[in-house]
Amino acid sequence: MNYHMIGKVLQARYQIVQSLGAGVFGQTYIAVDIDYPDNPKCVVKQLKVNNSQPSYLDTLRLRFLTETETLKRLGLHQQIPEFITCFEENERFYLIQEFIEGHSLTAELPINQQWGCVWTENEVIEFLEDVLNILEFVHSQGVIHCDIKPENLIRRAADGKLVLIDFGSIQSVDFGIEGELPISRIPVTSLGYIPPEQFIGQTQPNSDIYALGMIAIQALTGIEPLQLQIDSYSNEIIWRTPNTQVSDYLAAVLSQMIRYNFQNRFQSAAEVLRVLKQMTEETEEHVSSEVAVENDASDQNSAFGKSSPLLTGMTVGLAANSLLMGLGVYSLLNTSPAYSETETLYKATEEYQSGDLQSAIALAKSIPSYSNVYPEAKATIEEWQQQWQVAAQQYLAAEQATKEGRWSDVLASAAKVPDILYWQSKTDKLVQQARVNIEVQTQELLTKAYEKAGARDFSAALEYLRQIPKENSAGALVQRKLAEYNEKRQIRAAYFLHNAQKRAAIGDFNSAVKFLRQIPKNTLVYAQAQIKMNEYTQKQHLQNQIQKVALDKVAIKKTNSFVSNNSANKMTNSQPSNDLQEVNIR
């Protein structure tokens, strides 16, 4: 976040007091209007600028001024923040909008089915009608919001109404985002609510309807969108189970809101509102009919006994997530067997997750071939068998790695185990053991690295650090020490090279070579050290030869001197004998 903006005053009026985060549009802040006595809050959006070239800025400026006109029109709706102003300052573009006091819808949604209360059907219908009325207005202005999600729906504290915020991604406000939508540029909180066509640059008005349907399903089930399963054949989302408390009417509406192919969805917010209204009216008629049946049990023509015109008229393919299969063909009464078959497949899934593959397959195979659920059951059995085999193989690999103490391999194999509760629980035990041992191993290697570093053997210290498994919890510390010891090793290598050059300068090539041999590989001066090594070795060899010649000369000189001395001594010793002979002769 750009915390350096905190306290900054824009246009000598809007003082930034808080950062709200970044999005596709740019950075968003809360500011106070210091021109007013009460310093009311407002929202400041700083447009992301990717280029400082004049031509780019001119184009962006024109787009900015043009598209803010759209935001002004949108701000006229009571449930959309009012547009206050826009301006350019220091080659940055800013939008100022009304600040909505309240909390996001995220705070109201259930986290899961076990924690927090899921919404009632009436609450969901009320929510849908509230937001659909906003979307009907937005789409009438020729724009698409493109980022409908819980955190962009604020429950206004003043009147409890939902307010749709963050129009930074609306289709008409392009701001240089063309073509396909890279997943790396999508906020994590938006994933799961964005429909398939939006990722390939084919956003439609009913893309917003898809996102709204996903929020409603989350409210009903307590399951976040990314946790829902997808049918591998139809790509439709499987969200309804026998435990989901929802009528067939509303289930049909929600399923058509989130169809994979946008052409099969509701085409407008008005269309969904019309169906919801019709649904409410028919529900009231059914209630009245039930009362009439109780008062007159002989009345065989009660409305309750008839198929719903809404349900039989809607063309909705709900796959296995609904009790209604192909509502354009089957009436509500005709789909009652599909419920028990869907429930059978659901129970089979429970058996599969608990670890009884054979029972799960047997249950799934009991679904008759004429059932609408049969194709899915058949495909599910094949998927189960494949996943079970993969899970068993990866578990055995993790188990073998555990026996051999290859803890990183344990985690790698465990990560490949498919999402089967039985195998996951078995693998979790191995994972826990691996993580404990990785931490022990990490501490041991760190201790050895510290010892080597203390002895200035940074190469050995680095080698110990590189042996530390990447899955350890001390990753940041290890990276810091790797950088530190590598730098110290480079410094020490340069020190050895410097000393070698100093010793060579005074002709001590033997010491110079010893210094060079201490320079490790993978250091910046290693190549230079090798060159000097060859040079100094040759000079050392030459120096040795010269010394040998000098020593040989000294030895020869000594030998010659010794020989001369011996000859002189012999001559001296023989002289008296001659004198004696002369005496004798005389």
Instruction: Just list the catalytic residues.
Output: 147
Cβ atoms of 149 and 131 within 8 Å: the answer is no
Which positions ≥6 away from 53 have C-beta within 8 Å? none
User: The tokens of 438 are what?
Assistant: 């990785």
Contact between 243 and 112 under an 8 Å Cβ cutoff? The reply is no
Please provide the distance, in angstroms rounded to a whole number, between the alpha carbons at the two ends of the chain.
Answer: 131
Total count of residues recorded for the chain: 586
CB 177 within 8 A of CB 146: no
E strand or H helix that includes residue 153: strand 153-156
How far apart, in Å, are the Cα atoms of 554 and each of 34, 156, 311?
Answer: 100, 107, 119
**What does the longest C-alpha to C-alpha distance in the chain come to?**
188
Q: Which of 472, 476, 477 is nearest to 442 (CA)?
A: 472
Name the DSSP letter for residue 107: G
Q: Quick one: which H or E segment has residue 29?
A: strand 26-33
In the 8-state DSSP scheme, what is residue 119?
P
User: Please, are residues 167 and 74 in contact by the beta-carbon 8 Å criterion?
Assistant: yes
For tokens 């909705």, the residue is 316
Helix (H), strand (E), coil (C) string for 313-349:
HCCCCCHHHCCCCCCCCCCCHHHHHHHHHHHHHHHHH
Pairing of strands 102-104, 92-98: unpaired
45: annotated binding-site residue?
yes
How many whole angstroms separate alpha carbon 11 and alpha carbon 47?
16
Question: Position 156: which residue type?
Answer: R
* Closest-CA residue to 110 (of 209, 191, 258, 217): 217
What is the C-alpha separation between 373 and 526, in angstroms, rounded?
70
CB of 519 within 8 A of CB of 532?
no
Phi/psi at 45 (nearest 5 deg)? Answer: -115, 120
Q: What residue numbers does the annotated binding site for ATP cover?
A: 45
Binding-site sequence positions: 45
